[in-house]
């Protein structure tokens, strides 16, 4: 009998086919659990590879599970290759816990680009937050020297962009300068997903449409919510991938849609915790992803980009 075609290849979606290499939890929404479903809602075929499989996120008192090593990642890629399944339009990566695994991911980038030279690599360089590093220090130089040059889009937070550029960011102009440093090293699109500047929370986006030309840069002011949520960075990067591919020349619009989706979801999460009598400021909160799917698919844009001139 003839082998049936792979319909995601034979009849590709208008948006794309994403390979997402991130963490996975049985319970809760972080890593792939926070990224795959939103991308599917936005019309993407998504194939997840789970870099870890844990019972729950590591903020709980205990967790159990397994960690995928570089050889096991290679085995999965070889299995896909043996069946001619390595055509992807996008690669998405999030938390990676070891240098050896990150080196293997770089091999995957090369392999995917031999199949599709136009592959878009969206990298969330998850290394830490608010001055705290939660990956081995050796990873920083690998991201800086090897990953940034091959990434198409980078989505660091403030702490991560400081690690990658060596620039202390205390003003908006520092944030723009950091974006320019990253453009010079590789990616045409950079979104610093959260910056605390003089008491304000900002997103700064930068798109260098032509090499050698100044980038188009903008900010979105984001209201602070008095709570801590898990999985928001993973979700934000997935939304930026999803919307920036639909609007490839309009990173401002893509960011407005992504921020508006995320803010609606966070407010729903906050209200749902309050409705069961839980103080949202007493612990990290699991995001209400399934309940917010309408806000993911059709967000009402409430947060507008302001262009820098």
pLDDT digit string (tens) for 212-263? Answer: 899 999 999 999 998 999 999 999 999 999 999 999 999 999 999 999 999 9
* Interatomic CA distance for residues 5 and 81, integer angstroms: 15
The pLDDT confidence band at residue 162, using thresholds 50, 70 and 90, is very high
Beta bridge partners of 207: 189, 216
Residue 251 neighbours by CB distance under 10 Å? 26
Q: How do beta strands 90-93 and 65-67 pair?
A: unpaired
Q: Residue 97 has what pLDDT?
A: 87
Q: 3-state DSSP helix/strand/coil percent for the chain, to nearest 5?
A: 40, 20, 35
Beta bridge partners of 189: 153, 207
DSSP 223: -
CA dihedral (163, 166, 170, 172) in degrees, to 10, reads: -90
The percent of residues in the chain predicted with pLDDT above 90, rounded, is 86
What mean pLDDT, rounded, does the chain reach?
94
Q: At what angle do helices 251-275 and 232-246 cross, to 10 degrees?
A: 140
The percent of residues in the chain predicted with pLDDT above 70, rounded, is 100
The pLDDT confidence band at residue 117, using thresholds 50, 70 and 90, is very high
Q: Which listed residue (129, 234, 249, 294) is catalytic?
A: 234
Residue 16 is encoded by which pair of tokens? 């794309």
Q: To which H or E segment does residue 141 belong?
A: helix 138-142
Q: Residue 7 has what pLDDT?
A: 82
- Based on its alpha-carbon atoms, the radius of gyration of the chain, rounded to whole angstroms, reads 19
pLDDT digit string (tens) for 16-74? Answer: 999 999 999 999 999 999 999 999 999 999 999 999 999 998 888 999 999 999 999 99
CA distances in angstroms from 288 to 38, 172, 210, 261, listed in the order given: 12, 31, 39, 12
Q: How do beta strands 216-222 and 200-207 pair?
A: antiparallel
Mark whether 75 is an active-site residue. Answer: no
pTM of the model: 0.95
CA distances in angstroms from 47 to 91, 240, 241, listed in the order given: 10, 18, 15
Does residue 114 carry a pLDDT above 90?
A: yes
Q: Residue 59 has what pLDDT?
A: 85
DSSP assignments along 231-271, one per residue:
SHHHHHHHHHHHHHHHSTT-HHHHHHHHHHHHHHHHHHHHH
* Interatomic CA distance for residues 35 and 171, integer angstroms: 30
């Amino acid at each position: 009998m003839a082998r049936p075609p792979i319909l995601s290849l034979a009849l590709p979606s208008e948006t794309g086919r994403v390979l997402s290499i991130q963490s996975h939890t049985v319970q809760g929404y972080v890593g792939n659990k926070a990224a795959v479903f939103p991308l599917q809602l936005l019309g993407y075929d998504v194939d997840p590879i789970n870099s870890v499989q844990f019972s729950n996120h590591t903020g709980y008192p205990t967790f159990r599970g397994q960690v995928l090593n570089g050889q096991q990642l290679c085995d999965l890629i070889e299995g896909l290759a043996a069946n001619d399944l390595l055509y992807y339009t996008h690669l998405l990566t999030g938390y990676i816990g070891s240098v050896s695994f990150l080196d293997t991911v770089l091999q995957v980038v090369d392999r995917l680009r031999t199949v599709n030279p136009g592959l878009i690599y969206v990298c969330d360089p998850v290394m830490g937050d608010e001055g705290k590093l939660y990956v081995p220090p050796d990873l920083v130089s690998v991201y800086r020297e090897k990953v940034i040059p091959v990434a198409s889009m980078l989505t660091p937070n403030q702490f991560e962009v400081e690690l990658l550029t060596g620039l202390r960011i205390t003003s908006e102009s520092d944030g723009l300068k950091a974006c320019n440093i990253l453009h010079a090293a590789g990616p045409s699109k950079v979104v610093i997903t959260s910056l605390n500047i003089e008491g304000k929370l900002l997103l700064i986006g930068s798109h260098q449409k032509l090499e050698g030309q100044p980038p188009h840069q903008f900010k979105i002011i984001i209201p602070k919510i008095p709570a801590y949520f898990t999985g928001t960075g993973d979700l934000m990067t997935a939304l930026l991938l999803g919307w920036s591919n639909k609007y490839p020349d309009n990173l401002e619009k893509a960011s407005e849609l992504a921020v508006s989706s995320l803010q609606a979801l966070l407010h729903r999460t906050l209200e749902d915790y309050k409705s069961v009598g839980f103080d949202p400021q007493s612990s990290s909160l699991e995001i209400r992803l399934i309940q917010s799917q309408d806000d993911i698919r059709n967000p009402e844009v409430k947060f507008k980009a302001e262009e820098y001139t």
